[in-house]
Amino acid sequence: MFESLITISIVGLVAGFILSMPIAGPISILITSNALKGRMRYCVLANVGAAFADFIYVFIAVFGLTKLYSLYKPIIPFILIVGTVFLLYLGVKIARTNINIEHIDDKNHINDKIKKDRGGFLAGFLLNFLNPTLFIGWLTSSFIIISIVSSLGFNTGGLDTMIDKNVQQINNIEGKAINQQTTISYFKSDSANIKMQQIHKESNAALPDYFPLLISICYALFLSLGSVIWFYYLAYFLVKYRNKINVKVVNRIIQGLGIALCCFGIFLGYTAVKMIIFQP
């Protein structure tokens, strides 16, 4: 029991850290643009808010609340439309940024920044929560990661079996197959690993009834924590070294990130319209 919890905690932490690294996502743009303004407090709050939304989606994906997904699916396009409006609002706001270096240390300016920073948690949370496509993304990535870990002979506490069932159920709801190239050919199980997997299955059969809930929470929590760690150090690095970049260049970078966020919003809107038109 404890072996599988430790394994899943480590896997979740590493997966959350690594999968958060691509800087092209909306939350990366939000944190990068605000870090370049020196708003470390805002970045931390936005980071925690986004991680909380990730925790919800990851937990639903791995615990197997697929019945909720079938009820939730019809309203996904409308949530995406709300997300589109929110992304466009944030994108335009960021794109209109113009840092004034002469007044950056004024007392009034600092007080205004602190007041604005308080909305960071809500902005981060909404940015991820209003993108329901993250559910499929986390389900697919978790399916691949946990399958690989299991195929290497580690005890995942039956989480690999749970996620496999979830993918099959979502495939039935969606009416099409999610990309589920499980155990990539490089990670084929040898005889020793197959024997170890069998031992794990036998030991997992004696686990208490609450264990699936416990291990799902554990994986979702540590994956979210891994994401928090990555974005914290990204923000810290950018805040610390932003003064080494010319302020005009900083303004251009921030404005470019704002435009990129608007593009994400337009893409979400396009996805929502397509889902409404082609919805059976």
What's the confidence (pLDDT) of residue 193?
A: 52
What's the confidence (pLDDT) of residue 173?
A: 62
What's the confidence (pLDDT) of residue 227?
A: 94
Question: What Rg value do the Cα atoms of the chain yield, rounded?
Answer: 21
Neighbours of 185 (CB within 10 A): 6
Length of the chain: 280
Look at 7 and 69; give whichever has higher pLDDT: 7
DSSP E strands in 79-139: the ranges are none
User: Which pTM value belongs to this model?
Assistant: 0.79
The 3-class SS string of 171-217 reads HHHHCCCCCCCCCCHHHCCCHHHHHHHHHHHHHHCCCCCCHHHHHHH
What's the confidence (pLDDT) of residue 51?
A: 95
Name which of 34-48, 68-82, 107-121 the model is least confident about.
107-121
Give pLDDT tens digits for 90-130.
989 888 877 664 444 444 444 445 556 678 899 999 988 88
Name which of 82-91, 130-139, 213-222 the model is least confident about.
130-139
Report the largest interatomic distance among the alpha carbons of the chain, rounded to a whole angstrom. Answer: 68
Q: Is residue 268 scored above 60 in pLDDT? A: yes
Helices (H) and strands (E) in the chain, counts: 12, 0
